[in-house]
Amino acid sequence: MMFDPNRGMFMDPSSRDSLLVGDAARRQVGRTAFDALSDSSARAIHRAQEESMNLATVPLEGLLIGLASERSGGASKLLREAGVQIAELKHLAPLQAAPDLVSWGAVERVPLDDEVVEVIRGSVDTAQGPITTEALLEGVIGKMLARPAGMEPELMGRLQSVLQRLQEWGEEDAEKIPVGGFVPGTSGGSVLESCGRNLTALAREGKLLKCVGRDAEIGRMIQVLSRMTKNNPVLLGEPGVGKTAVAEGMAELIARGEVPNHLAGVAIWDVSIGSLLAGTKYRGEFEERLKRLVKEATDADGKIILLIDELHTIVGAGATGDGAIDAANILKPALSRGELRVIGATTQSEYDKYIAKDPALERRFQPVVVPEPTQAQAVDMLMGVASLYEEHHFVRFTDDAIEACVKLSSRYIPSRRLPDSAFDAMDEAAARKRIQQGARPSSRIEVNANDVAQTVAQWTGIPLEELTKDESARLLHMEERLDSRVIGQKRATSAVARAIRRARVGVRGIGNKRPTACFLFCGPTGVGKTELSKALSDEYFGEEGRNMIRLDMSEFMERHSVSKLIGSPPGYVGYDSNSGGVLTDRVRRQPHSLVLIDEVEKAHPDVLNILLQVMDDGRLTDSHGRLADFSNAILVMTSNVGSSMEDLKRHFRPEFINRIDEVIAFDSLTEEDIVRIVGLYVSRLQAALKEQHSIDLEVTDGLTAALGKEGYSAEFGARHLNRVMQARIEDPIAELILREEIHRGEELIADYDSERDMIVFRDANGRVLTETKCSDKTAADD
């Protein structure tokens, strides 16, 4: 932003107001003419003023340079296409005159020559809309050619060609030139050439990816295109299955001459609705452009077939209000008569939402379903185009790498469809390998299956590298690591480890669409149910808390809370936000997660019904019809209702219990278990003090045993120990740090005086810093 002293306000430097308001140029052209200038034209005049700072006025030649310099206007493109260079324009006589002894002080104060003013005002009289750079260019060249003295013959010829082109378009069409200088549907350009791509021509040049394994779909397309009427196939399939590739495969067959005679020589044009809409500022421009497109296609006597990707976008495209005509209504007559053949491509959901709601439009298309390929078909597809990726990245794919792209993306990225997810894995694995190599090597780099696994691991956040001996040993000894974190629950850790081993090596049994494992952790409070869930998440997914989805069922006690899990139903608040539920959305984004359903006994029965589907089929559909895949998730539910089957049957229905892989009863913690937990607690506290304050904490064995005895509670489990550790250890240390009695880099020793039942904190020299009672009972007796 810049401050305009004439208006006393800040102005956008790119706006025409900030360029001309309050200066001589605006007064010269008048308010009406100034308001009629397009933004590109205003900037071109400003550039002309910059070029003429040393002259008395801005001459025609200066305005011509301004038009050539303003790249956002169509005039610049026309001059470049004609070979007119800015450098040669600067050598024209009026710009080479001796500088006048005048100091304008600012660019905006340079006045315009009378001829320039005439050009601008003349454009106002003839224009039917904003004064474009093309309109100014026509006026400037016309006046310059009327007095050609001092102009090189070659430059004069190039300017004459530009003027002739502008005059052929006429003022009406010139006003419609969008940014870039294209005039659709006129003698100056073709709508097809400017808004589309000739796929058949690209196929002849070898610029399209090879289409493999879609012979049935292409054959069905040829069959529909051969009909006399309603010969318009629409490719329906999920995103990423290769709908556009099927149309490109059709173009390849035409280019090779492997189609029936009536399709020989046909050109398939990929038309973008966005390009058709671009630059249409006035009512009727889009309709006129689309009609010209239809005319170009129908005038070709069946030799042009239009491909409209995202076909549903034609519904409502170009409409300015309710009941206004849109692209679909413009295309309907030509489609029904068979004069225009269109290949559409869209998803089934978008087709149902937009196309199927208009029966008159739907009956003009014949659906061609494009299913997701099998893994074997996807491997063939990748094999067919691997050479193109190899050439781009200067690598070489092994056969195992290509198979890994398909298998790993299919297994670990279930929200994406083959072959798109496999292509992405292959492309990024090659890019990753090339970046690791640095400078271009002398020979091609080999990309193997392990490289692909590492790439997919980056996407999903789970370890996918090949099973090495070290990792095999780690899996075999998972119980030991879980036991070191979750004390006193060997049965639970063993059951969990068995399930993880099955999932990690791919042995899932018949029900492989179910979640990796469904556990119900039962037992009294404070015995480690939630802690084991956290440990399992860290062990399986490799990073603490990253892939853990925790839902507390105390928030889902009402019947309507089901909508929190899967999203609001249609007609209710929140449905229009296009967001699903807290469960479905997070699982769709992180399909490899541990889903912790805490205190499941508090959930409403309708919430449990939702979980039945998850445990049985490994899938859940949100309120918008989007699927959340739980087949790679671990489902853990915790409950405090009791550990016996009779207790469970009183709270849960048989069909719910029957879908759980294993009900794991947690044992009550013993005093020895609590002592071991104290050791874990102290280790974490030592690490935190070292990281945050550089203090080395030492806790004696005697104090550890005393804290374990004080922290033991058969009723409250380890939660009581947390309160003891906070009061006896954390609070005194926090006070020492705040009072600056212990400093960074020093050692703090915590000991137990059994005679006085006191916890004593000393520094490295043995000086007592503070003391606190260890036992509440002793404190009460005293």
CATH number assigned to the domain comprising residue 638 = 3.40.50.300
Considering 644, 665, 686, which residue would you say is the last residue of a domain?
Answer: 665
Q: Element (H or E) spanning 772, and its range? A: strand 768-773
Q: Helix count (H) and strand count (E) of the chain?
A: 38, 21
CA angle 639, 644, 649 (to 5 degrees): 75
Phi first, then psi, for residue 82 (nearest 5°) are -85, -5
Q: Are residues 653 and 688 in the same domain?
A: no
Whether pLDDT at 465 is above 70 = no
Residue 522 sits in the same domain as residue 613: yes
Residue 486 CA, chain-centre distance (Å), reads 39
351, pLDDT greater than 50: yes
Residue-level pLDDT at 377: 84
pLDDT value of position 499? 75
Q: d(Cα 78, Cα 138) in Å, to the nearest integer?
A: 11
Least confident of 319-328, 541-550, 561-570, 764-773: 319-328
Q: Where are the alpha helices (DSSP H) in 70-190?
A: 74-81, 86-89, 93-96, 114-126, 133-146, 153-174
pLDDT in tens, 397-441: 888 888 888 888 887 777 778 888 888 888 888 888 888 877 667
Neighbours of 70 (CB within 10 A): 22
Which of the pair, 467 or 221, is modelled with greater confidence? 221
Name the nearest CA neighbour of 500 among 591, 404, 594.
594
Q: Please check whether residues 645 and 693 belong to one and the same domain.
A: no
The length of the chain, given as a count of residues: 782
Give how many domains the chain has, as a whole number.
5
DSSP state letters, 233-277: EEEE--TTS-HHHHHHHHHHHHHHT-S-GGGTT-EEEEE-HHHHH
Average pLDDT of the residues in 505-521: 70
Q: What is the DSSP string of 733-744?
A: HHHHHHTTSS-T
Is residue 701 in some structural domain?
yes
Pair type for strands 634-639 and 517-522: parallel
Cis peptide before 419 (omega within 30 of 0): yes
Three-state SS letters, 59-80 = CHHHHHHHHHHCCCCHHHHHHH
Band (pLDDT 50/70/90 cuts) for residue 395 is confident
Q: Is the pLDDT of residue 20 over 80?
A: no
Q: Which one of 436, 458, 480 terminates a domain?
A: 458
In the prediction, which pLDDT does 1 show?
Answer: 37
Residue 185 in this model has a pLDDT that exceeds 60: no
Q: How confident is the model at residue 17 (pLDDT cuts 50, 70, 90)?
A: very low
Contact indicator for 122, 139 with CB cutoff of 8 Å = yes
Structural domain contains residue 299: yes
What is the pLDDT, as a whole number, of residue 15? 45
Find the mean pLDDT for residues 392-397. Answer: 85
pLDDT recorded at residue 468: 40
Does residue 464 form part of some domain?
Answer: no
Beta strands in 253-388 (DSSP E): 267-271, 304-309, 341-346, 366-369
Alpha-carbon Rg for the chain, nearest whole angstrom, is 38
Domain boundary among 335, 353, 369: 369
The answer to whether 755 touches 774, Cβ cutoff 8 Å, is: no
Tell me: pLDDT of 551 over 50.
Answer: yes
Cβ neighbours for 28, distance < 8 A, ≥ 6 positions apart? 111, 112, 117
Please give the average per-residue pLDDT across 508-517, as a whole number.
66
31/46 same-domain check: yes
Average confidence (pLDDT) over 266-273: 83
> pLDDT class for 99, splitting at 50, 70, 90?
low
Looking at residue 423, its pLDDT comes to 87
93-102, 362-371, 417-426, 467-476: the lowest-pLDDT one: 93-102
Residue 180 lies in a domain: no
Distance, CA of 58 to chain centre: 49
- What pLDDT score was predicted for residue 544? 58
Q: Is residue 466 assigned to a domain? A: no
Are 764 and 756 spatial neighbours (Cβ–Cβ below 8 Å)?
no
In whole angstroms, what is the distance from residue 408 CA to residue 500 CA? 18
Q: Where is pLDDT greater, at 39 or 128?
A: 39
59 in a domain, yes or no? yes
Whether 186 is in a domain gets the answer no
DSSP annotation of 56: S
- Residue 469, C-beta contacts closer than 8 angstroms, at least 6 positions apart: none
DSSP 8-state symbol, 4: E
Are residues 547 and 437 part of one domain? no
* Residues 139 and 219 both lie in one domain: no
Q: Residue 264 pLDDT > 80, yes or no?
A: yes
Same domain for 196 and 149? no
Same domain? For 154 and 101 the reply is yes
E strands of 599-741, at which residues? 619-621, 627-629, 634-639, 662-665, 696-699
Q: What's this model's pTM, rounded to 2 decimal places? A: 0.55
d(CA 78, CA 493): 75
CA distances from 28 to 20, 24, 66, 263, 352 (A): 11, 6, 18, 61, 58
Q: Residue 4: what pLDDT?
A: 41
Tell me whether residue 182 is in a domain: no
Q: What is the dihedral of CA 160, 164, 165, 169, to 10 degrees?
A: 150
Residue % of the chain over a pLDDT of 70:
80
pLDDT at 464: 57
Domain co-membership, 510 together with 482: yes
**Alpha-carbon distances, residue 656 vs 105, 499, 551 (angstroms):** 84, 20, 18
- pLDDT at residue 571 in the model: 63
**Measured at the alpha carbon of residue 571, what is the angle toward residues 565 and 575, in degrees to the nearest 5?**
45
* pLDDT tens-digit map of 35-84: 777 777 888 888 888 877 777 788 888 888 888 888 777 788 888 878 88
The CATH number of the domain holding residue 421 is 1.10.8.60
Structure tokens at 510: 């018949």
> What is the rounded average pLDDT of the residues 365-390?
85
Residue pointed to by tokens 């409409």: 319
Q: What is the pLDDT, as a whole number, of residue 29?
A: 64
| Whole-angstrom distance, CA of residue 375 vs CA of residue 373 | 6
> Do 219 and 285 share a domain, yes or no?
yes
Residue 729's pLDDT band (boundaries 50, 70, 90)?
A: confident
Distance CA 81, CA 79 (A): 5
* Model pLDDT, residue 320: 55
Can you name the residues that pair with 37 across neighbouring β-strands?
131
Instruction: For residue 358, give its domain range.
Output: 191-369
Residue range 300-320: mean pLDDT, rounded: 76
Mean pLDDT over all residues of the chain? 77
- The answer on 494 and 513 residing in a single domain is yes
Q: What percentage of the chain reaches a pLDDT higher than 90?
A: 0
Residues 229 and 345 in one domain: yes
pLDDT category, 95, cuts 50, 70, 90?
low
User: Beta-carbon neighbour count of residue 292 at 10 Å?
Assistant: 16
Which pLDDT score, from 0 to 100, does residue 778 have? 39
pLDDT for res 31: 64
